[in-house]
Amino acid sequence: MPVPATVWQPGMRITDVRLNAKDYQAGSLNVSFTSLSSYTQAVTFPDGPFPVIPILNVEIVSGAGSSGRFEARPINPTVSGFTLFVLLSDAAEGADTWTNVPVNWVARMPT
């Protein structure tokens, strides 16, 4: 389980755990699919679950080819992960194919 970043108080001892603590996890996926207008993929937080459901942000890191017509968002968040949902922003465009399009995500503790 990730250790939340420390809010330093006078007199606290410095430890490896406190120095390396962070309130976020991040990752990147290479997404591929054939002839679809929407796509989902389960993502598990690599450093373990959060103590509460985190705030999530995802972004498509390419505008090349057909990826410029899609959007991405997280759905079904839990303390252990979420589902990446990629969808065509204009359904009238029809299905498309992606090959190794990078999608980045960041999960962070609510403030």
Q: Is 6 domain-assigned?
A: no
Give CA–CA dist 67/16, Å, rounded. Answer: 42
pLDDT digit string (tens) for 97-107? Answer: 999 999 999 99
Domain that holds residue 61: 24-108
If one counts the domains in the chain, the total is 1
Tell me if 12 is assigned to some domain: no
More reliable by pLDDT, 73 or 47: 73
Domain membership of residue 1 (yes or no) is: no
Q: How far apart are CA 92 and CA 26, in angstroms?
A: 33
Whether 85 is in a domain gets the answer yes
Mean pLDDT of the chain: 88
**53 neighbors 63 (Cβ within 8 angstroms):** no
Does residue 19 sit within a domain?
no
Question: Alpha-carbon distance 36 to 109, whole Å?
Answer: 33
pLDDT at residue number 1? 46
Residues whose CB falls within 8 Å of the CB of residue 56, separated by 6 or more in sequence, listed in order: 74, 77, 82, 105, 106, 107
CATH number, domain with residue 95 = 2.60.40.2080
Confirm whether 3 is domain-assigned.
no
Give the pLDDT band of residue 92 (cuts 50, 70, 90): confident
